[in-house]
Amino acid sequence: MDDQPQNVPLVERFHRAEHLARDLSEHLQQSLLPKISALRHAAKVHDVSAVSDQEMLDHMTAFTEAEAFASGIHDKLRAYLLSIEQETRRILNF
């Protein structure tokens, strides 16, 4: 999915946007939200022997990486959706 959206036929843009939306939803549910939950849980523990600085760093790093991945998918999805909107407006003369 490295092509620029405007260089892809309109019907394929719809398919790719649908695929990206599914990927984003799956990533949010299976990766990002659990990492946020783990980070929040670790941050509430005030006992250094229970949650070390390294564990907190690991949780923050995992969350940051998952968020960056989600942002990348979102940016691609947005590009496809904007391209679809522009093309349909052009076709419909809006």
Share of the chain above pLDDT 90, in %: 86
Confidence band, pLDDT 50/70/90 cuts, at residue 2: low
> Strand, coil or helix: what is 1?
coil
Integer Cα distance of 77 and 23 in angstroms: 10
Whole-structure pTM value: 0.86
Asked if residue 1 has pLDDT above 50, the reply is: no
Read off the tokens for 75: 């940016």
Interval 78-89: pLDDT, tens: 999 999 999 999
Asked whether 62 and 5 are in contact (CB, 8 A), the reply is: no
How large is the greatest C-alpha to C-alpha distance in the chain, in angstroms? Answer: 65
List the chain domain ranges.
9-92
Angstrom distance (rounded) from CA 54 to CA 2: 36
